[in-house]
Chain A
């Protein structure tokens, strides 16, 4: 081991006042620079727009003759389209009672009566809203995207688990992919696939595949070395090792990957609608654009239901255990809510039901020569019921969900929205006006606008660039400093300076509110188990909702503009902040807490002097996650009046000005990566 001389500590005075000095220097520079330096010089624009548009139109014009398209993208496209049509046709051909039966029984098999109920109610509500077909279209898109994600992610995961070199190449790519807001994925996809259903699948797929790769890799790498060694010692081949030992042992992690992939795919639903996906996403998008908030709410609710059901299903799938046939649970007790005098009747009925359920498996097993098929009883019953309903369909012809059964929420919702706008907009309390209007105005007038003015009109651009560099230097050293400074400068070169500064001001104000809410709530939840129990399901729920759907209820209250995006972003991003703060504080080692207690600390002293400082890395990690989510949401909110980079990108996509979209997309990526690196370095520094 070589021992290196420790770096001499910087003189404390200099160290403490360095940030102040840099700040003063920047302020002085801001005052000294003439007014002409406020705007980023337009002449420096790299002018990417024209060549990209050129490329795009060349591609469109010569699709048939470019080999890359002829032999790769087009066949791929055709294949995906075929899969999508197949899935859609199969799902839409399913008579609705069969679909409901399938969903309910699957729910029961994967998670018992509660999940069965959820799996029944979810689709029924979609039907009642008149969203049966869009829901199935979305489901088809999910199925295709997830199947492809698994088909691509699993082998890649296996590959990167088996070779450190592959892992070293793949990992930074995945890291990069996960830093980017969903939105950015659309842009390159549009260049290569155009706008239609297939590119929507591709964008979803690209977004959803990283967790599959990551978790397969992780799961395989975590398989206990003794088991692998034992298999090798008995002469297992690589394939035997993989299929008999590694994959089975990594299965829980792989299933967690599938679960995450499904959730990521769902969170793309609305955004993918921007480039041509149909289904529920399109319903939300179109309704919002037409300001039909009620309809948007219905479709948004349908997406949330779909997300919850699929989440619970895939979670159940990972817990599924086909192995335990030896011990059947023989419960001689009825549930608590069954009155004692009904208990024996309950048990008899339960037993009879169980016999009935085991019947088909028993019969089939006997027919197949006495095999024990009990563990497949559930799947078998599912197949039987669905088959029976399909047969019945030949006679009765159920068709699609009956149009006579409707239960729209749109009118009451729209009425509610109107009522809220009329009555909650301004509420005089004493001499003060509160309500959505004043709150919204306050945020815009006193926070968003001044900050935007500061960035776009007061600060000369070199000061902003140097400021970013200084922040980078403070958090992570000269490399990060150079990266941050050059990155911000590049945003200017892209010609996106004013839009980026607008977005940045929104992000900063949103982060202010998010941190203000998340950190105290996290601390409270770490100190109080009741608070934690109450918060947990809410946070879990918030985390299953796709980002775009957050906008719907907020727009109900606040109309469109920058404020609803801000509030939606706070709601969207708050969960990881609370969870990580709570976790960090609770994880503070018992010994340290005990020692602090032994010295007679009060609870407040303990929090302030021991727990929060020790939990700081975890809290900062939460802030890192929150900032990335806020960025994603602020970009999305650009579509509903938030303006900034998001609007630029959407406009680029929507008006097929691809060059503009690419410029905005690159600026978004730069902002995302810079903020990610700085907050991560900050978290690492505080460890």
Chain B
């Protein structure tokens, strides 16, 4: 029997292993002395150092969107900035395509930043002295693309984010939401494999926000970009995220699919995030089905796919008095849905 290494089967795009970031005068020394039962507040009080990211590990598969949520100050921005080394983590490994970003020398790091990873900033990070189109073309400019080519590409991106007509304006002449879209276009223009999003849609109105989310989903589907996405909005996390991590005081409290988080929040902190989630859209039939009761005859009963969301099963359940079958893709019977278990799953 041959063992195929997991990485060959499905090469992980990004893997973070035990990443720490401590701010202060002697972060290396402090990070070694932190014991697991010490809280970050205690570390701050005793050493004056801020533990912003604390032993975070996770993996992101190619084409996946990994969402990070957490209260303000929980270390989300710091984590994402470590990933493209805008800040150097104090300890840990960050592998992108199996290559440790932290070990890269300056030229190699620059190359990674120019081609592979780009970033959308929480505070936009636009260049106030450059026009919109020059901002968007910046990434191509630093890697030496000819002028005509980069302007054409930038023009395309500006249209994509719905800012056609604003190319020649300066950032300060744009509203916050428009500036955010410039930042988005700038990140997309370099056609990176990985995009790091730091609350990219926070300043957008609901309509444009939805449009941008759909656009992002489309990009994901078409171009299989891998992204790490920070947001405060759980609905957005559900819509975009393949996996969601909930962060608190620099640590991941729980990582899982939206469904796992909604159904089995690890603690009250996570539950507080998932409380208002539209559960019918998240929970699938397989997650709430019961085993077939003895003597159950599936013939003639309506059936739902195992991965169907409850939202889609509800009409069937409402219209049919008896249990509804749950079948997998091949049509095999897995279990049944009854009204009581579905209602329980929806309410909680």
Contacts and interface: CB of A to CB of B under 8 A. Distances in A.
Interface of A: 1, 224, 226-227, 229-237, 240, 244-245, 248-249, 251, 323, 326
Given A235-B143, A236-B142, A326 B168 contact: yes
B84 interface: yes
Contacts of B110: 235-237
Contacts of B118: 233-234
Nearest to B183: A230
A227 B126 contact: yes
Contacts of B119: 230, 233
The 8 A-B residue pairs whose C-beta atoms are closest, nearest first, are A230-B125, A235-B114, A235-B113, A226-B125, A234-B139, A235-B110, A233-B119, A248-B129
Contacts, number: 67
A236 B86 CA distance: 12
Given A234-B190, A235-B113, A245-B129, 11 more contacts: A229-B121, A230-B127, A231-B127, A231-B138, A231-B142, A233-B84, A233-B121, A235-B111, A240-B142, A248-B129, A323-B131
A225 to B, nearest CB: 9
A226 B113 contact: no
28 contacts: A1-B48, A226-B123, A226-B125, A226-B126, A227-B127, A227-B128, A229-B86, A230-B119, A230-B127, A232-B113, A233-B86, A233-B113, A234-B113, A234-B114, A234-B186, A235-B109, A235-B110, A235-B113, A236-B110, A236-B142, A244-B138, A244-B142, A245-B127, A249-B127, A249-B129, A251-B129, A323-B131, A326-B168
B234 interface: no
A232 B86 contact: yes
Contacts of B139: 234-235
A237 B111 CA distance: 10
Q: Which interface residue of A232, A237, A240, A323 has the most chain B CB atoms within 10 A?
A: A232
Contact of A226 (B48, B111, B124): B124
Contacts of B128: 224, 227, 249
Q: Which interface residue of A224, A226, A234, A251 has the most chain B CB atoms within 10 A?
A: A234
Nearest to B134: A244
Contacts of A237: 110, 142
Contacts of A245: 127, 129
A529 B125 CA distance: 40
A233 B111 CA distance: 11
Contacts of B112: 235
User: How extensive is the interface on chain B, given as a class?
Assistant: 20 to 34
Nearest to A227: B127
Contacts of B186: 230, 234
Nearest to B169: A326
Interface in B143-167: 143
Nearest to B135: A230
A244 B124 CA distance: 18
A315 B305 CA distance: 74
A245 B130 CA distance: 9
Contacts of A229: 86, 121, 125
Nearest to A2: B48
Contacts of A240: 142
Interface of B: 48, 84, 86, 109-114, 118-119, 121, 123-129, 131, 138-139, 141-143, 168, 186, 190
Contacts of B113: 232-235
Given A235-B110, A235-B111, A326-B168, A227 B125 contact: yes
Contact of A235 (B125, B142, B168): B142
B165 to A, nearest CB: 12
Contacts of A1: 48
Nearest to A327: B168
A226 B141 CA distance: 19
B45 to A, nearest CB: 8
A230 B129 contact: no
A319 to B, nearest CB: 14
B142 A230 contact: no
Contacts of B129: 245, 248-249, 251
B112 to A, nearest CB: 8
Contacts of B86: 229, 232-233
A17 B11 CA distance: 81
Nearest to B196: A233
B143 A226 contact: no
A230 B114 contact: no
Contacts of B131: 323
Contacts of B123: 226
Contacts of A236: 110, 142
A249 B125 CA distance: 13
B325 to A, nearest CB: 52
A6 B56 CA distance: 42
Given A249-B128, A326-B168, A230 B48 contact: no
A245 B141 CA distance: 13
Nearest to B168: A326
Nearest to A325: B168
A424 B147 CA distance: 73
A229 B121 CA distance: 9
A251 B190 CA distance: 28
B312 to A, nearest CB: 41
A372 to B, nearest CB: 12
Contacts of A249: 127-129
Contacts of B114: 234-235
B214 to A, nearest CB: 26
A607 B138 CA distance: 54
A573 B126 CA distance: 43
A400 B1 CA distance: 101
A233 B142 CA distance: 11
Nearest to A234: B139
A1 B119 CA distance: 36
Nearest to B190: A234
Contacts of A233: 84, 86, 113, 118-119, 121, 125
Contact of B121 (A230, A235, A248): A230
Nearest to A228: B125
A526 B28 CA distance: 54
A227 B123 CA distance: 10
Contacts of A226: 121, 123-126
B138 A234 contact: yes
Contacts of B111: 235
A230 B126 contact: yes
Contacts of B138: 230-231, 234, 244
Contacts of A224: 128
A234 B126 CA distance: 12
A244 B130 CA distance: 9
Nearest to B125: A230
B96 to A, nearest CB: 14
A249 B127 CA distance: 9
Contacts of A326: 168
A248 B130 CA distance: 9
Nearest to A326: B168
Contact of A234 (B109, B124, B142, B168): B142
Nearest to A247: B129
A236 B84 CA distance: 13
A214 to B, nearest CB: 22
B32 to A, nearest CB: 22
B50 to A, nearest CB: 13
Contacts of A231: 127, 138, 142
A236 B138 CA distance: 9
B2 to A, nearest CB: 41
A235 B140 CA distance: 10
Q: Which interface residue of A230, A237, A244, A249 has the most chain B CB atoms within 10 A?
A: A230
A248 B190 CA distance: 23
A62 B232 CA distance: 77
Nearest to B167: A326
A235 B84 CA distance: 10
Nearest to B45: A1
A326 B114 CA distance: 31
Nearest to B87: A229
A326 B168 CA distance: 8
A227 B139 CA distance: 13
